Structure 1
Amino acid sequence: MANKKGKRQFGSIRRRASGRFQARYVGPDGIQRSAPHTFATEAQARKWLTLMESEIIKQTWEAPEKTEITLSVYGTRWIAERKLAPRTRENYQDLFRLYINPHLGHLTLDGVRPSTIRTWRQKLLAAGTPEPQAVKAYVLLRAIFNTAIKPDKILRENPCQIDGYDRYETPERVPATLDQVLELAERMPSRYRALVLVAAFSSLRWGELAALRRRDVDLADGTLRVQRKLAALRTGPVFGPPKSKAGNRVVTIPTIAVEPLREHMAEFVGAELDAIIFTGDKGAYLRSGNFLRTVKWAKLRADLGLPANFTFHDLRHTGNGMASASGANLRELMRRMGHSSTRAALIYLHGSPERDREIAEEMDRKAREAEERKRRKDATEDDDEPEAS
């Protein structure tokens, strides 16, 4: 319809074949929307558009989808459309399927309130959901609602704003000692002995170890080039880039790991450059579940006096702790671990009574040296004083 002279109209109105009038406008999010129903007169349509324009000007406008789209539909679409690593996508799908959708999926986006979130979390924990999983589900849900606010502009506020729900207390992990690592490797089937030692002394992640090829190993220099990782998905193994940009790196390993690795490659690895270094009993790609069952990990752990929650990944903690104790600074440790943030790297740095004693002894040594320097200085000054006449 034509605009009134000198005034720009908001939205548009058109007459349908039925004789009724349809009103349309472009919202703040750039999406064109139509009124939920048609109007008997043009004046009624214009009045509805005026109301929409007023809400936009007052910044009280909200997308009508908030009362139409369920969390089930929006969350599923969010995970599908998000740029994610394959393993991360699977993890998100599992969190949404197990912990979010069954309880909240039927609600529309505007039907989820902070009180809804509190009740949901209470039900999860009461049903025996481990707190770490409840935290991960909450963080995922918060990210989904953040997108509904910006850039989608469907909601104005995020209901996931409850202090403490995005974290949980984790006990300090006690890493295996060097003696325990060596004993663990000794008890391994020969195919996996080098795997344990390289894991402990290289700081590589499981997926990075599983993706190593002959071309990535330089035995002369004792280095491993990390260029990719292997993710064991439900649909099969998938190779991809390291976890972060910092994950693409070259790591030097000590001789204690190089020699077993040399023997391992001679016995178990093909001659071609793309031959995988660490494989399962039948030459297939490593899968953590199969590995743990094959080596009887739970029994080995108990026999060595390791904590019940000690995992293969904890070998990384041992290696990182040893690197730190050897004098490596935080930047060097971050590069070795493949971390781009200090916060992530600090998780792997552990203290120990032995290391604490070494620190105390070093402090004592420095203090005694200072004390000795002072004693010598005082003695020199006494010798220089003139004799009384």
Structure 2
Amino acid sequence: MSLTKLPSGRWRAQVYDPARGRNVSVSRILGGQGTFQTKTEAKRAREWARERLGDLSAEETSLHSFWERWTTDPLFARPKESTNIHNRERTRAFVERYGTRTMDTIDDAVVADWLAGGKRNGTIPALRAMFNDAASAKGGRRVRRNPFARLGVSRGPGRRHEQPPTEEQVWRIIGCAREQANPSFAAWLQVAAFTGLRPGELDALRRVNVDLGRSRIRVTEQFSAATRTFTSPKNGQAREAPLTEPAREAIVSLPIEGEFCFAPIRGTHWTAASRAYHWKAVRAAAGWSGSLYLATRHFAGWYMVNELELPSEDVAIALGHTDGGELVRKLYGHRDRERALDRVTAAYEGTASHTQMRLI
């Protein structure tokens, strides 16, 4: 907070000093006292101090200078290290292109130039977060407005219109995994496709978290490919997932070779890097051109909705969503149009005679 009311009733005013890399009392910039009788006086002193600091060199107020601080100072760190890595990667190219500019010259024209062609829309959230911090007190109020705020630009359809494989194709992929890779990877794929667990959650799955008696899988952690560490699940909440019959068969078919359910080598666990080589060979042998995610978690959501005809709310719980089924309806469901029309037609068949009687 740049303005703080003290227990004495007086107000303390602070500003961010780039030379020191932290907030300091306005007295360090203006001299004199650092607390004031009223909030108005404190605000006025804060603005004077900011004007004084406005004489900083262009290098000290450059985009690159702030980005270096934003990506290294714990003050701006997000709770998950993987998020920090993601934000750094998503903003790096922008900084390489415009880094010599001062922060206050990053305007709508720069944004339009950066987003031209529509291929960089995915960088908007991270850039918006960076400029939000730059506009905050802890960021030194480097900008007065966020040029990436409220752009109304879509990140694209994502996986919404991608069709997952059929059940027959999934079993073909699993069969090819047994031939091209090993039983552990084939079982990994089978559990992924018929539970919807995320890849990192399966990589971290320990046998102690598989409850065969209750047909439940306790999802308490994931292995982060970005940080190469075990972290909490995606939304930060542990949960239970269904141990479906195909998943149960896959797990019990494997020998116990350590604490992890799926082990490429005794005592270890799968990672994104160790899976990549095998997945490339498997998808080629199976004739599948889509992604691993589409063939596993995305397929699981589609299968539960279309083949099992489960409510979106139930599918959401199984997949670990907390939105009551909204994402399932928008992204995973891919509700089969022909089946939907057949269900509607069949529902009306039961009322046809009653309707006909009313028309006679």
TM-score range, shorter chain: 0.7 to 0.9
> Structure 2 CA distance, aligned partners of 1:210 and 1:338?
17
Say if 2:342 is the partner of 1:351: no
Give the structure 2 partner of residue 214 of structure 1: 207
Say if 2:300 is the partner of 1:327: no
TM-fit CA distance, 1:162: 7.0
> Structure 1 CA distance, aligned partners of 2:86 and 2:337?
38
> Structure 2 CA distance, aligned partners of 1:63 and 1:279?
57
Residue 241 to residue 197, structure 1, CA distance change in 2 (3 Å) = same
For the Cα contact (< 8 Å) 1:114–1:162, is it kept in 2? Answer: no
Say if 2:238 is the partner of 1:248: yes
Say if 2:217 is the partner of 1:224: yes
Residue 151 to residue 332, structure 1, CA distance change in 2 (3 Å) = farther
Residue 335 to residue 63, structure 1, CA distance change in 2 (3 Å) = farther
* 3-state SS of paired residue (1:328): coil
Give 1:304's match in structure 2, choosing from 264, 286, 301.
286
Give the structure 1 partner of residue 251 of structure 2: 261
Code of the aligned partner of 1:111: T
> Structure 1 CA distance, aligned partners of 2:245 and 2:30?
76
CA RMSD of aligned residues (A): 3.5
> Structure 1 CA distance, aligned partners of 2:122 and 2:167?
33
Give the structure 2 partner of residue 156 of structure 1: 144
* 3-state SS of paired residue (1:348): helix
Question: What are the Cα deviations for residues 39-92 of structure 1, in whole angstroms up to 9, with x where unaligned?
Answer: xxxxxxxxxxx9x949959xx979736964222232232233222312222222
* TM superposition score normalised by structure 2: 0.76
Give the structure 2 partner of residue 178 of structure 1: 167
Question: What are the Cα deviations for residues 7-42 of structure 1, in whole angstroms up to 9, with x where unaligned?
Answer: xxxxxxxxxxxxxxxxxx94688853479899xxxx
Say if 2:116 is the partner of 1:119: no
Residue 362 to residue 53, structure 1, CA distance change in 2 (3 Å) = closer
> Structure 2 CA distance, aligned partners of 1:330 and 1:62?
58
Say if 2:68 is the partner of 1:71: no
Question: What are the Cα deviations for residues 304-355 of structure 1, in whole angstroms up to 9, with x where unaligned?
Answer: 343x342245411111112223233233222211122355444532325xx3
Question: What are the Cα deviations for residues 146-172 of structure 1, in whole angstroms up to 9, with x where unaligned?
Answer: 122234433221122473545224461
> Structure 2 CA distance, aligned partners of 1:114 and 1:252?
49
> Structure 2 CA distance, aligned partners of 1:66 and 1:222?
64
Give 1:90's match in structure 2, choosing from 85, 93, 112.
85
* 3-state SS of paired residue (2:223): strand
* 3-state SS of paired residue (1:73): helix
For the Cα contact (< 8 Å) 2:124–2:148, is it kept in 1? Answer: yes
Moved more, 321-330 or 249-258: 321-330
Code of the aligned partner of 1:358: R
Residue 155 to residue 61, structure 1, CA distance change in 2 (3 Å) = farther
> Structure 1 CA distance, aligned partners of 2:145 and 2:358?
70
Give the structure 1 partner of residue 230 of structure 2: 239
Give 1:107's match in structure 2, choosing from 95, 101, 104.
101
Aligned residues: 319
> Structure 1 CA distance, aligned partners of 2:249 and 2:196?
17
For the Cα contact (< 8 Å) 1:63–1:155, is it kept in 2? Answer: no
Give the structure 1 partner of residue 6 of structure 2: none
Question: What are the Cα deviations for residues 268-318 of structure 1, in whole angstroms up to 9, with x where unaligned?
Answer: 433xxxx0111224543312232121x2x3453344343x34224541111
* 3-state SS of paired residue (1:230): strand
> Structure 1 CA distance, aligned partners of 2:102 and 2:171?
56
For the Cα contact (< 8 Å) 1:223–1:253, is it kept in 2? Answer: yes
Moved more, 282-291 or 183-192: 282-291
Code of the aligned partner of 2:106: V
> Structure 1 CA distance, aligned partners of 2:249 and 2:213?
10
Question: What are the Cα deviations for residues 171-229 of structure 1, in whole angstroms up to 9, with x where unaligned?
Answer: 61110111111111112121212111110111110111111111100123321100111
Give the structure 1 partner of residue 37 of structure 2: none
Give the structure 1 partner of residue 341 of structure 2: 360
Code of the aligned partner of 2:342: E
> Structure 2 CA distance, aligned partners of 1:371 and 1:66?
81
For the Cα contact (< 8 Å) 2:219–2:239, is it kept in 1? Answer: yes
For the Cα contact (< 8 Å) 1:62–1:156, is it kept in 2? Answer: no
For the Cα contact (< 8 Å) 1:229–1:241, is it kept in 2? Answer: yes
Instruction: State the identity %.
Output: 20
* TM superposition score normalised by structure 1: 0.71
